Amino acid sequence: MAFYFSEPSHTFGEYLLVPGYSSCQCIPSNVDLKTPLVKFKRGDEPKISMNIPMTSAIMQAVSNDTMAIALAKEGGISFIYGSQSIKDQAAMVQRVKNYKSGFVSSDSNIKPTTTLNEILALLKETGHSTMAVTDDGKPTGKLLGIVTSRDYRITRMTGDEQAQTFMTPFDKLIYADADSTTLPMANDLIWQHKLNMLPLVDKKQRLRYMVFRKDYTDNKTNPLELIDKKKRYIVGAGINTRDYAERVPALLKAGVDVLCIDSSEGFSEWQKITLEYIHKNFGDDVKVGAGNVVDADGFRFLAEAGADFIKVGIGGGSICITREQKGIGRGQASAVIDVCRERDKYFDETGVYIPVCSDGGIVHDYHMLLALAMGADFLMLGRYFSRFDESPSDKIRINGTYYKEYWGEGSNRARNWQRYDLGGDKKLSFEEGVDSYVPYAGSLKDNVNVSLTKIRSSMCNCGALTLAELREKARITLVSETSIVEGGSHDVILREKFSR
């Protein structure tokens, strides 16, 4: 006979936090949102932690290199989507790793013979307006000059002009020696000469690095930015259980920091095989998350298979119709509570802490707080990030209001069959996701700051200054339908109704 769960399946909107005692120390500026990303033994430090508990979803409409850079600046991690060619995904990872380290390897390079039209096409592709002109067009070729938008005037040129005719030539550039110049020295030169970028060359005039003024400013304005030992942004990437033998080495070569198996359902032998292959062939230093699961058994299975973090959530995503199509899934809150209980049990038994990620179904900012209070170490968000400037999708104006496009990986548009494949015929047989619009919301930085301000404030109401304290101290209640009505404004006539 089938197993019946004793509790109905609940989601975040059905719960509230009841405030606890807060001391005078409980002020938002004292709250630390640092959280582990990958598993660690009791007493050890995890190899990767995040400064805020947010990751962006492994989706075409959400996580490209632009999103990854913006989120890492705020302290979180993007997982670059895997439903693209290995080459394209690795190139995105590489762009994030090259973006900034103080010393950046040049990734927009041209030859002296490159035409203005080709330069404009490259600018559109990379978004980088500063291009190094090297003899062979390679990042480490002999530096002959620099082209920036100040060097050309599109309206007065035909587009066929070659870079060598309008670039700022090497003998007019301020540059520095790559071997002896430190980052503070480079920044001093930038300020002294009012430069936007300082090239660093070796004794043979070969380009080694570039140092950008804006990176210096970023450093000052992004105190939580998430960087590796070489001061490069940390970035993740999604993989699947089919082409990992080729995809994983390409992503590692591009410098990826962490991987995550992207699958709609993770309690499967495919995930075990994938995890074992990666750890056997590339070593335990390569960190791989797995999922998605929705109960204790699923967690235990992936923990024993070697997952470095475990992702929770089936059918709760805003664009997801899996529950309607297949009758599979579980309310996101119930799933998180069950899995986190098992995570704690596993930690007690083995001394190994495996972080849990709550993936999908976050509608309001307070849902993030609930997921964290219920035990999630961090969140994965799709709809939330898709609304921002930095997401890859188009911004569209409909009836005077701006929207961004947002589509599921299981939609016909994404056709990510690998995410849903159970050993079938290598195609998406039916849709599990929709193609939609979401209201455009502006910049990632502004929105993330508002959401985190709310989280910090509510944590103080619960008397918690860290996420571990929140998990311990949180007092959570289910709410009745009428008390949900009570929670919004009610029994008043909003002034905006009269001003229409």
Active site residues: 320, 419
Under the criterion CB under 6 A, does residue 433 sit at the interface with ligand MZP? yes
| Of 225, 408, 452, 465, the one binding ligand MZP by CB under 6 A | 408
102 binds ligand MZP (CB under 6 A): no
| Residues 6 or more apart in contact with residue 294 via CB below 8 angstroms | 312, 313, 314, 329, 330, 334, 335, 338, 339
318 binds ligand MZP (CB under 6 A): yes
Alpha helices in 158-205 (DSSP H): 163-166, 183-192
- CA angle 238/243/248 to nearest 5° reads 55
Closest residue (Cβ) to ligand MZP? Answer: 433
**Considering CB under 6 A, how many residues would be counted as binding ligand MZP?**
23
Asked if 218 contacts 72 with a C-beta cutoff of 8 angstroms, the reply is no
251 and 243 Cβ atoms separated by less than 8 Å: no
If binding is defined by CB under 6 A, does position 322 make contact with ligand MZP?
A: yes
Q: Name the minimum Å distance from CB 288 to ligand MZP.
A: 16
Q: CB-wise, 188 or 405, nearer to ligand MZP?
A: 405
When the beta carbons of 273 and 328 are compared against ligand MZP, the nearer one is 328
Closest CA to 331 of 6, 10, 28: 10
How remote is the C-alpha of 303 from its chain's centroid?
23
Torsion of CA 248, 251, 255, 256, to 10 degrees: -80
Q: Cβ of residue 361: shortest distance to ligand MZP, in angstroms?
A: 5
- Binding ligand MZP (rule: CB under 6 A), the pick from 38, 50, 57, 143 is 57
Rule CB under 6 A: which of 329-368 touch ligand MZP?
359-362
- The span of 12-20, 389-397, 408-416, 441-449 binding ligand MZP (CB under 6 A) equals 408-416
Cα(227)–Cα(234) distance, integer angstroms = 5
CB 433, CB 411: distance < 8 Å: yes
Structure tokens at 269: 């032998």
> Which one of 110-118, 374-382, 393-401, 480-488 is the stretch in contact with ligand MZP (CB under 6 A)?
374-382
Least distance CB 287 / ligand MZP (angstroms): 18
Tokens of 187: 């920044």
Q: Which of 37, 59, 104, 465 binds ligand MZP (CB under 6 A)?
A: 59
- Which 208-247 positions form the footprint of ligand MZP (CB under 6 A)? none
411 binds ligand MZP (CB under 6 A): yes
How many CB atoms are located within 10 Å of the residue 421 CB? Answer: 19
Query: Which of 319, 354, 356, 441 is the binder for ligand MZP (CB under 6 A)?
Result: 319
Q: Are 178 and 206 in contact (CB under 8 A)?
A: no
Q: Which residues bind ligand MZP (CB under 6 A)?
A: 57, 59, 313, 317-320, 322, 359-362, 380-384, 408-411, 432-433
